[in-house]
Amino acid sequence: MEVIVQRDYAQMSKVAAQIVAELLNTKPNAVLGMATGSTPLGLYQELVRLHEKEQLDFSRVTTFNLDEYVGLPGNHPQSYHYFMHEHFFRHVNIPAHNINIPSGTTSNYPAFCEWYEKRITECGGIDLQILGIGTDGHIGFNEPTSSLSSRTRLKTLSKQTIDDNARFFERREDVPVYAITMGVGTILEARQLILVASGKTKAKAIAQAVEGPVTSMVTASALQLHRDAVVIVDEEAAARLTMRDYYEFIYAAKPAAPRS
């Protein structure tokens, strides 16, 4: 696992966007795995900037989102369909038929989940999966005790996730209890993973994921099993890492590392 510590959120977002841009420059028809939440917003803004100012082309890109709340229609302001459209898709040139987001309103979840997995395979698998991390260490909505070989399925959200996400809803009771999410096993099959985390509320989960044991109690720790996983954090999220000097030494020695 590579760990990149950046001074702040803006810089973290830039470095993450640079990795995505490098992939698109070498593979214009890449399959991207997308994440929602407040953390990847800066990364999406930077990709939009690169699209508008530096002609970064998404016309052959295919995307798969990690997860969606169950019960929210796509036009609900808190649905991940809405989030992705608002913050990213409407600003770049990805063809609508190349965009895949789990359905929060299907009448048959098991069949939908199976179809979603099949569709990922048919598109050649995910080249690069973007990830955030929950304060409970989740990736996607793979809450503590999720199997590390799980596939796309329905999950019940943990109390901590419901509390964390209540800030986006009028009342805590409005937060959906269920979500459809790619599994940890699905995520681990992506050829490259980048996880972004910012702020002191993420410091414990990041330390557990990067330096703790691999455990279903912190599903982000499964990144340790991946051959090409990059964790990009700001100062605050890095606060509890014990090997920080080592990560910085490695990054500084990397010839092609993007800096400013």
8 is catalytic: no
Place of tokens 């490695």: 250
Binding test (CB under 6 A) with ligand PGA, winner from 132, 137, 176, 183: 132
Q: How many residues of this chain interact with ligand PGA, rule: CB under 6 A?
A: 6
2 is catalytic: no
For the bound state, the minimum distance from the C-beta of residue 37 to ligand PGA, rounded and expressed in Å, comes to 3
Residues in the chain: 260
For 174, phi then psi, to 5°, come to -80, -15
163 is catalytic: no
What is the SS3 string spanning 109-134? HHHHHHHHHHHHHHCCCCCEEEECCC
37 binds ligand PGA (CB under 6 A): yes
39 binds ligand PGA (CB under 6 A): yes
102 binds ligand PGA (CB under 6 A): no
134 binds ligand PGA (CB under 6 A): yes
164 is catalytic: no
When computed from its CA atoms, the radius of gyration of the chain, rounded to whole angstroms, is 17
Q: Which of 68, 117, 136, 234 is catalytic?
A: 136
Q: What is the rounded distance in angstroms from the CA atom of residue 155 to the CA atom of residue 49?
A: 35
Q: Under rule CB under 6 A, which residues in 195-224 are in contact with ligand PGA?
A: none
Q: What is the rounded distance in angstroms from the CA atom of residue 38 to the CA atom of residue 42?
A: 8
33 binds ligand PGA (CB under 6 A): no
Residue 92: DSSP 8-state: S
Interface residue list for ligand PGA (CB under 6 A): 37-39, 132-134
Which residues are known catalytic residues?
A: 67, 136, 138, 143
